[in-house]
Structures are given as C-alpha cells and as structure tokens.
Amino acid sequence: MPSFSSRADLSEIMDDLSRPDSEFDEAYRELGIINRRLGGIRAIERFLPHKSNLLVLDVAAGACDVSEALLRRIPAQIVVLDVNPKGLKSARKSWPVTGNALELPFRDNTFDVVMASLFFHHLSEANCVRVLEKMWRVSRELVLVNDLYRHPVAYWSIRALAAAFSKSTMVRHDGPVSVLRSFRPRELLQVADRAGVPARVYRSFPFRLVLVAEK
C-alpha cells in the first residue's frame, strides 16, 4: 500500500524529454481527455476574472489543451510556455513559447493571469517555491496553480481508469505516480508562504486543488 502522508519521491516518465515523440503524442492526447472529463478545465475557468481581453500565461503548458479549451470559452489571449517544444506543436489559438518555468523570460507584471496546470507535482518543494515566485513576478492581477489532491480514492481511481482505458505507457505509469507526488492543501499553502505570495487553496471536484493568489 502506498503512503499518502507526504509527497512521494518517485520519477515520472514524462519528465524524460528524450522519450520518443510518439509516446508524448499519445500521452498528451489522453491527458487532454482527462482534463476535460475530470475537472482540469473547470478548475481554472472558475477562478478567472470575468472581463474581456485577458492576457494569460500558461506555464508548463504541455500540449496546450487547457489553454486551447479556455480560448473556446472566454475572450482572451494566452501565451503557452513549455521547456519541451513537442507539445507546443498543438497550439492553435494560443501563442507558443519554448522556455523554462524556473526563469520565465518576461518582464514584471506582463500578464493579467499566470496559471499552471498539473505541473507543480513534477517539482521539488524548492522548485515549487521558485516557480511560484516567478509566476507572481510576471503577473499583474492573479496567479492560479491547478494540481492534484493527494488522496487514496484519487490514486486508486486513476490507477483503475488507466489500466482499463489507457494505451499510453506514460499515462499508465505517471497517472498514479502523479497523485502520490501531489499535494494536500496545507502543503501548497506552505509553498506560497515560502514564496512570499498571499494565497488561498480551494478544492475543485473531483480531486483537484487550486492555489489562488490575487495582487
């Protein structure tokens, strides 16, 4: 039985950028379905400001599925940034930029909203703090961090769903590992405290956490 008392120190296949493009393509396709059907889009959309022409930065955007879905629903311009250019090929309405989330090559207060989805669980706590500091720096209004809630039901559910439906080696392995590497609310609040960012953390159905920091 895995332990859920603290974040697991386990590796995810997706973090190995030398893996074949075909593996990333299949994983990105399935992650897009997971985000649509298991609350990943809603977790971000519910906290976005209700105004036109938002300028948004999506940090570690992967295959850009969250931003592309949002652009079909809201009037916004979204820059999608990822260190791995493979997923950025999927950008259609969003603007792709290859870059490192640990640096964020933008000026202070550039974007109305800076968001990240299913990224922080890939990071050590120290790098979570560093990325949140950078996101806060380049935001002029709002920072949103959408990630998984570490819970036994979430773990066994994604493990069963991946075994039954996934054709992706990455998703079958990384899905359960992602839950074990993810957070409890107090842990995200500790990250925000260390980064000097005033934040609240909300539950989002079914097993998402959203850190919300307003300037």
pTM for this structure?
0.96
Furthest-apart CA pair in the chain: how many Å?
Answer: 48
Using pLDDT thresholds of 50, 70 and 90, give the confidence band for residue 185: very high
User: What percent of the chain stands above pLDDT 70?
Assistant: 100
* 101-120 pLDDT, tens digit each: 999 999 999 999 999 999 99
Using pLDDT thresholds of 50, 70 and 90, give the confidence band for residue 144: very high
Which of 66, 64, 57, 63 has its CA nearest to residue 87?
63
Which tokens sit at 53? 């022409």
User: What percent of the chain stands above pLDDT 90?
Assistant: 98
Q: Identify the pLDDT of residue 116.
A: 98
The answer to whether residues 44 and 113 touch, using CB atoms and an 8 Å cutoff, is no
Q: What mean pLDDT is predicted for residues 80-107?
A: 97
Residue 127 has pLDDT above 90, yes or no: yes
Residue 1 has pLDDT above 90, yes or no: no
Q: Identify the pLDDT of residue 174.
A: 98
Q: Identify the pLDDT of residue 41.
A: 97
Q: Identify the pLDDT of residue 181.
A: 98
The full set of domain ranges for the chain reads 38-149+184-214
Q: What is the mean pLDDT of the chain?
A: 97
Q: What mean pLDDT is predicted for residues 77-90?
A: 96
Q: CA end-to-end span of the chain, whole Å?
A: 42
Which of 144, 125, 42, 28 has its CA nearest to residue 82?
28
Phi, psi of 176 (to 5 degrees): -65, -40
Which of 110, 114, 105 has its CA nearest to residue 146?
114
Residue 128 has pLDDT above 90, yes or no: yes
CATH superfamily of 38-149+184-214: Vaccinia Virus protein VP39 (3.40.50.150)
Q: Identify the pLDDT of residue 175.
A: 98
The answer to whether residues 64 and 80 touch, using CB atoms and an 8 Å cutoff, is yes
* 34-63 pLDDT, tens digit each: 999 999 999 999 999 998 899 999 999 999
Q: Identify the pLDDT of residue 126.
A: 98
Residue 188 has pLDDT above 90, yes or no: yes
